Chain A
């Protein structure tokens, strides 16, 4: 990990294979304040935000994954950050919000439309055919292990908007992501659209997903659709062929 030295390794959408390396071990350095990372290269913060904005506007089924630091209103700062987050989300037509509420394993089945879990993030991405996503408010350790797993088995473009030092394992990342920077990301979304980037989807911003969100819509039932649950460890047809692995829960 050496700044100023161009690493040969590129952090790009996968599937990369069974066990991709940690990008920092391959020479990818973390950005400083005012900078960002795009595919393993240090760029200006503005460029990183614009690249992230283009990915979220133009790739299929763009989804925001807010983690515990964003979800739980445990202090005033978190509430303010959540307000800015929704303002930003509204600028991405057709975006979905699937939370990572905590890091406990969810077994043996997960509702991939309602939640993403760091033990098997690929299930949520495969099921919803997500090709661009933002991790925000996820503790760095869990974000990094998740980002590598997503790169291993999916073609999803990952963006990590990190309140700390940033993430080498994401395709785009900006460090010290506070409320001002959420606003700057919203501005970047507006700017790239104004400059000619045509969003893949039109119409309203946030699309409800999962039984919990849909149940809040007028006229919807309040039941959890058991039939929609996905077996943890199950392998959708378009995944990497080695992903299914062994049954961890077998006695």
Chain B
């Protein structure tokens, strides 16, 4: 989703003389005479392709939290529910401003994360577009409910601003918490920078609400590096927004008490396993992971591929996600200056994991280096599992507990392993 490409597409449309309003699906009624439409009231619903790919963009130098706010402004969100925790608090504070400005219909602070994530489940089951965000220990507290969302086929957006979760407790960057999300069944995207923290949430809503997908989407970023630092973010005008959630066209019936089949159901929509067959439970789980697979088509369309590849033919390939990608980019630049043959694969989507794409991108590589901001090396494990000749994968470098990752560390790793 390079901004240059998008701007060019918009310019091409202008040259062709296309009607720029052709993308408009609907707009709010005109205000009473003499009153100009502003802010939320002035927003028009547009086709997702237009908002995500084609609309002309301008750049702003903003923090990741502000970038997420601008995404939510254009996301046509019905309800946002969260409980504050560093480094997520600032983002949800920004989202609170959107509620005050009329961009979000409802917004409240839950009592704690189990309550928040349960409320998100209820809101999503009721058919509305739902947003929440958390970080570190908050994710751990809410995860009992979070892992139930995919099986419930509950589309929603979970922003995860990663931080330390283990003792000694700290608020510093560390993304081990993502490993807990990888087996939950939902879609997991990992943003590199402020631009991704603008783009991925919008894509997440649209992909998760596709009828054949109908899954929650988590957009994770590395706390502070992305949330609190500024970067250039390319965005379309704020007077357009995504179409609303169409809950009558999803994989399960939403909780509409006026319409069947819920109207006629006495029982909970999902039963405990002792009231359904083991085979149904097994088939149900298969279907959740199959839905992830179906998401690839839409992620490919709106993220411009599940991977980004720099120097595709290089002998040494760095594979990274999140903030480690930025460090990888700089390592590629410095390494090339030093005469190293090094390239980079950015993994945008962790679930669904781009198995075939990664195999193809790394087929030629002699060495594969996986820098990570956590101790356990969850991405290295994923990469080793899917590539042929896994001995090519060098475990690291890794930093954790709030440390930064000097690019020299990546270059030393590349040169140390022959």
Residues on A facing B (Cβ under 8 Å): 1-2, 19, 21-25, 29-30, 68, 71-72, 74, 101-105, 107, 118-120, 139-142, 144-146, 148-149, 152, 163-166, 168, 232-233, 243, 245-246, 248-249
Other A-B pairs beyond A25-B289, A74-B260, 7, CB < 8 Å: A1-B294, A2-B356, A24-B293, A25-B286, A104-B265, A149-B280, A246-B278
| B259 cross-chain contacts in A, Cβ below 8 A | 72, 74
Asked if B57 lies at the interface with its beta carbon under 8 angstroms from chain A, I say no
| B269 cross-chain contacts in A, Cβ below 8 A | 103
A103 touches B214 (CB 8 A): no
Knowing A1-B297, A140-B212, A141-B287, the reply to whether A102 touches B264 (Cβ < 8 A) is: yes
B260 touches A68 (CB 8 A): yes
Q: A104: shortest Cβ distance to chain B, in Å?
A: 5
A148 touches B283 (CB 8 A): yes
| A248 cross-chain contacts in B, Cβ below 8 A | 273-278
Q: Specify which of B210, B261, B282 lies most central, judged by the most chain A CB atoms within 10 Å of its CB.
A: B261
A165 touches B280 (CB 8 A): no
The 7 closest A-B pairs by CB, nearest first: A22-B290, A102-B261, A72-B260, A164-B211, A141-B251, A165-B212, A145-B283
B275 touches A107 (CB 8 A): yes
Q: A-side binding surface: helix, strand, loop or mixed?
A: loop
| B286 cross-chain contacts in A, Cβ below 8 A | 19, 21-22, 25, 145, 148
A25 touches B261 (CB 8 A): no
Q: B22: shortest Cβ distance to chain A, in Å?
A: 20
Residues on B facing A (Cβ under 8 Å): 153, 210-212, 214, 249-253, 259-261, 264-267, 269, 271, 273-280, 282-284, 286-287, 289-290, 293-294, 296-297, 356
Nearest CB in chain A to that of B264: its residue: A102
Partner of A145, one of B264, B265, B284: B284
A105 touches B212 (CB 8 A): no
Give the distance in Å from the alpha carbon of A145 to the alpha carbon of B290 in the complex. 11
B253 touches A139 (CB 8 A): yes
Q: A77: shortest Cβ distance to chain B, in Å?
A: 11
A145 touches B289 (CB 8 A): no
| B277 cross-chain contacts in A, Cβ below 8 A | 119-120, 232-233, 245, 248
| B287 cross-chain contacts in A, Cβ below 8 A | 22, 141, 144-145, 148
| B210 cross-chain contacts in A, Cβ below 8 A | 165
| B297 cross-chain contacts in A, Cβ below 8 A | 1, 29-30
| A144 cross-chain contacts in B, Cβ below 8 A | 251, 283, 287, 290
Give the distance in Å from the alpha carbon of A230 to the alpha carbon of B205 in the complex. 43
| A145 cross-chain contacts in B, Cβ below 8 A | 280, 283-284, 286-287
Q: A245: shortest Cβ distance to chain B, in Å?
A: 6
| A142 cross-chain contacts in B, Cβ below 8 A | 252
Nearest CB in chain B to that of A104: its residue: B267
